[in-house]
Amino acid sequence: MLIFSQDSTISLAFKKNRPYKNNPYFYQPDLSYQILQQFKLVQLANSGDPLAQHELGLRLLTGDGIVADTVTAVYWIKKAASQKLTAAMHNYGVMLINGWGTEWNPFTAYEYFLSAAEAGMSQAQYVVGILYTDNLIVRRDWNKSYYWIKKSVDGGYEPAKEVLIELSSKVSNEFKDSVAQNKFSYLSSKDFKDEEISNNIQPSVGLVFIDFNSELDTIRGFNDDVLLNDLIRINNKSINDSLKASKDSTFFKNLSISDLNILSKIAEGGSPEALTILGRLYQTGNSTGINLLLAAEYYIRATILDSPRSAYLLWKLIRENEFYRILNDGINTNNPTAQFVWYGLHKLGYDNRLTEPDAINLLKKSAEQNHLPAIIELGYNYYSGKYITQDKNKGIQLWNYAKDFGSIEANVRLAVSKVFDLNKSDDLSEEIKILQEADLKGSLLAQFALGYCYENGIGFRKSIPEAVKYYREAAQRGNQFAYQQLKRLYDNLRPAVERFKVE
């Protein structure tokens, strides 16, 4: 639960955007300062002691023994950071990149993270390494990313270890050797305050790297653990708590009927990760039995949501010897799944044997048999004017029809359509509630839509930091449109200096 303050600031980053008490993102370097009486702490902070300034800022931030005041907290942490106190530089960077108590500014945040990283703080080294991967603040540079993540690992920071493994395939062995032999350095000489640095800190600022070329790594080597990790990385408590199967290499083989039902519900809500896992289960037969048409359908639905894993798995699946025989048999028997699959292969560019009208005709035949994925997709085509003359009312009618059959995704699409076609007089409280509930259940579309709502002040007080959070989470799951919106927000603030040019 977020802590709320009684101060009078009107900052958009304030109150409902305050970090949790005992927030693991913030680093507290010296326990002796934490036990000082408040008056003594203020006295030392006013005298210019950076450790006291930092500690006072953290107390004000979290409301630890003192009335919380985010703006004053930022003031004191920034004061300590200006004296090059390493932990304060890192923490001020955290506040800037999240827009906590200050205006959102990822570029200034980067400068503070870099300074803390150069001072040897492994948590900040991890953050800088991540920031070199997403092409948002600085130009993507896998070598620099590897360098900083390796420094973080060498400093004992546990979360960096998994990232280092992922980065290893992106840099040459020669470069790795040069880093290991200390022949490569980005450090600049600066004067930093000495302090004890602890490694018992949780992952910094919630960042993971965004890479839309991950399917290339998939081709080099792929295992089912990757798909499970994608689902876990959504970091959705309701999902992780609901699935009872062990979250390890046995997951795919030991799913109960209850787990399969839960996974199906998550997938039907619009989670590309769950859709991909179901596709994999039906392809391999683990826990479900083999059904290549259903496998292809799940992969197609996930790929439409920009899942790079499913795009690769679908490409592999349709090259299996029996696939097209099974697909043709399905078409000849008027199987709605087969009809949807062949339409999907055409839409995604995997099969060009159909003309566009023939593909749409197959989709309509599938929808006429009340096949929900086909009804939802046909609704999208009418609503957007894709392949068919645009008719938004027809699209909404189809989504309402699917909703009446219990489709969660159709209900989300109806809510999103209301958000994007907003009239000023509309009350969207019900739609916002639908999106929030769907987001909690793993819907990528709802997650993106909530970012749009925060950016434009629809249903919420306008908050660019919250919009960035939702867009980033959606982009990290593979959604390229979310990444484009995220980059647009960064570009709106981008300083006109060489180090921040990304393209």
Is residue 99 a contact partner of residue 463, using CB atoms and an 8 Å limit? yes
- Residue ranges with strand state E in 298-357: none
**CA separation (Å) from 42 to 80, 218, 294, 412?**
13, 54, 65, 51
Task: Compute the distance between CA of residue 201 and CA of residue 159 in angstroms, rounded to an integer.
Answer: 9
- pTM score > 0.85 for this model? no
> Shortest CA distance to 456 belongs to which of 496, 494, 489?
489
Task: Compute the distance between CA of residue 468 and CA of residue 490 in angstroms, rounded to an integer.
Answer: 9
DSSP state of 204: S
Q: Per-residue pLDDT for 454 more than 70?
A: yes
- What is the pLDDT at residue 36? 56
Residues 54-77 have a mean pLDDT of: 88
Read off the pLDDT band of 64 (50, 70, 90): confident
**CA separation (Å) from 224 to 156, 264, 338, 410, 486?**
29, 18, 25, 29, 30
Task: Compute the distance between CA of residue 486 and CA of residue 374 in angstroms, rounded to an integer.
Answer: 30
Q: Per-residue pLDDT for 34 more than 80?
A: no
> Shortest CA distance to 73 belongs to which of 90, 55, 87?
55
- Residue 142 contacts by C-beta under 8 Å, 6 or more apart in sequence? 132, 133, 167, 170, 171
Query: CA angle at residue 122 from 102 to 57, to 5 degrees?
Result: 30
Query: Which domains does the chain possess?
Result: 31-180 (1.25.40.10), 210-320 (no CATH)
- What is the pLDDT at residue 229? 82
Task: Compute the distance between CA of residue 145 and CA of residue 136 in angstroms, rounded to an integer.
Answer: 14
Residues 27-48 have a mean pLDDT of: 73
- The average confidence (pLDDT) of the chain is 84
- Residue 389 contacts by C-beta under 8 Å, 6 or more apart in sequence? none
Residue percentage of the chain with pLDDT more than 70: 82
